[in-house]
């Protein structure tokens, strides 16, 4: 075998990875160009109805031909769809149930094809924990239909099922791991720059569509619809998911190389602080701790330097009086006597004391659709009694019941344990970042349910990346071992 023929597969993989960038620019960039031009031309009315079908058509093409670009498309839909909805509603009138918001869901539905295709392989050791999770959710769906109704249960099923299916899709796409890894890293870095930068702009110059949306939804917890008085939510619908996206992006940036991480890090740090989401701050700290713990001394020193330089680069913005006062006031509520006097802390303690009986008293659970945004379907567009549940740890048994909750929690525990005890991918920096992102999301379950909806897609997809990385590097090791045996046989050396 010649050196040229040996290098050919590697060269082919490099060409494929490079190809993913123009494909993403053509399809994903083309989609957003159409949306932007339509809104700029005053065609927000038609955009309300063509946005989701067009997003699905682009997703279908990419899903079949370009898996890395498909994942990029799905991520951008999650990042920017709420922003598009606000712009459209501002110019064309408010609608409680906007078809625009379905775009990331319908694009993600294509991953059910992966689930159906590989369903028999869920009995494999690293994939088996997904089985009890799907069974637990499957048991809760019909109960949700009976208790909440078909529409609330079906809508909420998307929030519970699709993130899990996305994790399965990424895990079974391990043969494209390198392309998926590079694309995901790039989309989170660019996303941090765009979404983080917009959030900072939002703090200083609140856009009219954002102020309009705040007045309509009357979400008092995110401040007042005025500059300097808003808890920024960027291009998303609320500060929580926005902060978690930025925290994940920062962890990705700290594990990446090149100039883009530095450009993304500065706005992400400032925007994360201005979101005032303490749970996301705690989650980021947990993820950062894991990165430090998993790295060797040389990489650990580089990581510390990266953290310091990112903070230093953000100092000009953090030193602005309005920014520093806002962040400092929030930080004071996390330490000392101020923490216990904080109204949010008191409300959360009261919620735990009163809700724990409801969460654990029903062995069958209330079913999918009993909590969250889904409660609006049966409550004239307003959040129902359990529209906001301030603890993911309690929401799981409340929705899934005893059996479903045990199946779901045990599956999550097995996946996390296997991700943190991997063998082959321990020297892969992105695999370590994937574990850090998953941990940063998981530790926030005490505050809210971070395993569903947009935040859930980050947890499950990065768990999928941890599995895909392990399979990828195990396959590389097997290939190297086979090559050694073939080489040894050619030289007359007995195989082991």
Q: What are the sequence ranges of the domains in the chain?
A: 1-110, 115-485
Find, among 105, 222, 221, 157, the residue nearest to 371 by Cα: 157
Confidence band of 12 (pLDDT split at 50, 70, 90): very low
Q: Tens digits of per-residue pLDDT, 196-231?
A: 999 999 999 999 999 999 999 888 788 899 999 999
pLDDT above 70 for 177? yes
pLDDT above 60 for 339? no
Tell me the backbone φ, ψ of residue 328, rounded to 5 degrees: -60, -45
Q: Are the C-beta atoms of 214 and 331 separated by less than 8 Å? A: no
Please tell me the distance from the alpha carbon of residue 398 to that of residue 274, in angstroms, as a whole number.
32
Each residue of 207-226: b (16+ CB within 10 Å) or e? eebbbbbbeeeebeebbebe
| Residue 451: predicted pLDDT | 95
Higher pLDDT, 13 or 132: 132
Confidence band of 14 (pLDDT split at 50, 70, 90): very low
pLDDT above 70 for 276? yes
């Amino acid at each position: 075998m010649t050196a040229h023929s040996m290098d050919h597969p590697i060269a082919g993989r490099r060409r494929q990875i490079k190809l993913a960038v123009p494909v993403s620019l053509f399809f994903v960039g083309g989609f957003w160009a159409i949306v932007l031009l339509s809104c700029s031309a005053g065609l927000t009315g038609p955009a309300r109805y063509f946005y989701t079908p067009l997003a699905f058509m682009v997703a279908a093409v990419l899903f079949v031909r370009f898996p890395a670009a498909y994942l990029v498309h799905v991520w951008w839909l999650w990042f920017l769809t709420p922003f598009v909805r606000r712009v459209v509603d501002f110019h064309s009138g408010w609608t409680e149930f906007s078809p625009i918001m379905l775009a990331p869901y319908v694009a993600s539905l294509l991953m059910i094809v992966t689930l159906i295709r590989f369903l028999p392989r869920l009995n494999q050791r690293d994939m088996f924990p997904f089985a009890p999770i799907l069974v637990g959710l499957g048991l809760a769906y019909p109960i949700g239909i009976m208790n909440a109704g078909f529409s609330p249960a079906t809508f909420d099923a998307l929030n519970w099922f699709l993130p899990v299916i996305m994790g399965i899709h990424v895990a079974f796409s391990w043969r494209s791991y390198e392309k998926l890894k590079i694309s995901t890293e790039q989309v989170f870095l660019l996303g941090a720059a765009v979404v983080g930068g917009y959030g900072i702009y939002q703090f200083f110059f609140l856009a009219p569509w954002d102020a309009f949306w705040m007045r309509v939804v009357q979400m008092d917890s995110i401040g007042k619809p005025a500059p300097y008085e808003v808890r920024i939510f960027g291009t998303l619908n609320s500060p929580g998911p926005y902060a978690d996206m930025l925290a994940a992006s920062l962890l990705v940036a700290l594990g990446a190389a090149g100039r883009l991480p530095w450009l993304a890090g500065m706005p992400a740090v400032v925007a994360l602080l201005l979101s005032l989401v303490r749970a996301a701050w705690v989650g980021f700290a947990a993820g950062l701790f894991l990165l430090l713990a998993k790295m060797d001394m040389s990489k650990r020193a580089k990581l510390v330097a990266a953290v310091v330089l990112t903070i230093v680069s953000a100092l000009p913005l953090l030193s602005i009086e309005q920014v520093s006062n806002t962040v400092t006031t929030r930080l004071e509520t996390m330490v000392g006597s101020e923490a216990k006097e904080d109204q949010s802390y008191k409300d959360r303690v009261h919620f735990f004391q009163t809700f724990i009986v409801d969460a654990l008293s029903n062995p069958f659970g209330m079913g999918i659709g009993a909590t969250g945004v889904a409660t609006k379907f049966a409550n004239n567009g307003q959040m129902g009694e359990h529209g906001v549940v301030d603890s993911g740890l309690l929401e799981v048994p409340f929705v899934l019941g005893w059996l479903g909750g045990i199946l779901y929690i045990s599956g999550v525990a097995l996946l996390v344990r296997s991700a943190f005890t991997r063998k082959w991918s321990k020297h892969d920096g992105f695999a370590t970042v994937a574990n850090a992102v998953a941990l940063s999301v998981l530790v926030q379950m005490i505050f809210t349910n971070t395993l569903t909806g947009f935040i859930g897609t980050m947890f499950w997809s990065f768990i999928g990346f941890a599995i895909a990385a392990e399979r990828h590097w195990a396959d590389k090791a097997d290939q190297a071992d086979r090559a050694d045996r073939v080489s040894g046989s050619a030289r007359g050396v007995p195989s082991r």
